[in-house]
Amino acid sequence: MTRTLQAACLAVILALCVPVSAGATSRIKDLANIEGVRQNQLIGYGLVVGLNGTGDTLNNIPFTKQSLTAMLERLGVNIRGQTIRTGNVAAVMVTSNLPAFGTQGTRIDVTVSAMGDAKSLQGGTLLVTPLLGADGNVYAVAQGSLAIGGFQAEGDAAKITRGVPTVGRIANGALIEREIEFTLNRLSQLRMALRNPDFTTAKRIAAAINDYIGAPTAEPLDPSTVGITVPQQYRGNVVSLLTEVEQLQIEPDLAAKIVIDERSGIIVMGRDVRVSMVAVAQGNLTVTISETPEVSQPLPFTRGGTTRVVPRTRIGVQEDGKKLAVVKEGVSLQQLVDGLNALGIGPRDMIAILQAIKASGAIQADIEVM
């Protein structure tokens, strides 16, 4: 036996000895969230000024006029009863997300959206706007110049609009003024919320944590929650425990599901979708009707003759018959896709076929229509 053949045989043996992973693993950090460590939504109402005549029409939008009047009165300018004809102001809603453990003085991004009939917020500046939480308290204050991704240009007979010029963003446009108290290090019990609830995944997460700690500290409470009792060595230092736990690798398990978006024709199928033996045929019937009217004129010097339009209708029927294909029992996702593609059908027809196969009970998966 030559050395080349010996090396090839050795490579084959080593390849057979290497264990093959059944699926991709993911970090617990990417599969679950810690209960209590979350963002909070903020909202506020404010005014954008400095617009080049693209703001709200004050006669049509009363709340913009009232807000402008109230703001000027707070600054010592009394214009009550006066007629205001400015188009450089727009009423807006300001939204943002308060990050977990956000501290006072930290800046966060805000999104500004027009409320009235403003045509564009380009070049505008947001005035001081308090941002409130769900409890009604002010947690941040926003102000700054807007960055608009779209634009609009128009003339007397044409108009061009690209993107959405009535929505803008201010990077680092708000300052956090109030913190949300949450003493993470003092907790003795933790709860992890799975982003995709599943019994098997919850059990695997708990098993991985217990194997790492060396004690039964984690327990799956339901498909979406894993409870953790903080071990004695991590009391007062929960951050260190979570840092270690988040990096543990497990293989998540998901239910077999087919997601269909009929509006865009998108089909997403999970890897565990299985099909029983079924025969599939697909055919399209196309009916074409065309109208080609003809003009009928009388002969020259004909008495009493009139010119008439005579209708001419052509009707054609075409049936695109597809062959009957047999999908074998227990085929994989790849085999199912290959079999449907062999019929020469598009995504729209494939959606109808999948729904028909599901109705026959031949697909062992849930179909979710968006």
Distance CA 279, CA 326 (A): 4
The answer to whether the CB of 79 falls within 8 A of the CB of 69 is yes
> Is there a single domain that holds both residue 71 and residue 136?
yes
One domain, residues 102 and 156: yes
Q: Identify the CATH number of the domain in which residue 232 sits.
A: 3.30.70
Residues 153 and 122 in one domain: yes
Co-location of 151 and 64 in the same domain: yes
Q: E strand or H helix at 320, and its extent? A: strand 313-321
Q: How many domains does the chain have?
A: 3
What is the model's pLDDT at position 14?
39
Same domain (yes/no): 246, 344: no
Question: Does residue 84 sit in the same domain as residue 170?
Answer: yes
Domain that holds residue 340: 258-287+313-369
pLDDT value at residue 22: 47
Domain boundary among 225, 250, 275: 250
Handedness of CA 193, 199, 200, 205 (dihedral sign): positive
Q: Which DSSP category does 275 fall into?
A: B
Alpha-carbon distance values, 203 to 225, 231, 243, 257 (Å): 10, 19, 20, 21
Distance CA 116, CA 142 (A): 20
End-to-end Cα, the chain, rounded Å: 62
Q: Could you say which of 126, 141, 176 is where a domain stops?
A: 176
- The C-alpha atoms of residue 336 and residue 339 are separated, in whole angstroms, by 5
62 and 190 co-located in one domain:
no
Is 292:314 a contact under the CB 8 Å cutoff? yes
Q: What is the rounded CA–CA span in Å between residue 280 and residue 323?
A: 8
172 shares its domain with 47: yes
Q: What is the pLDDT along the chain (370 residues), one digit of tens a residue?
A: 455 444 444 443 333 333 434 457 899 999 999 988 889 999 999 999 999 888 999 888 888 888 888 888 888 888 887 777 888 999 999 999 999 889 999 999 999 999 999 989 999 999 999 999 999 999 999 999 999 887 677 766 677 777 788 999 999 999 999 998 888 888 899 999 999 999 999 999 999 999 999 999 999 999 999 999 999 999 889 999 999 999 999 999 888 888 888 777 788 887 777 777 777 666 654 555 565 777 777 777 667 667 777 777 676 655 565 555 555 666 665 676 676 676 666 777 777 777 887 887 877 788 888 7
8-state DSSP, 89: -
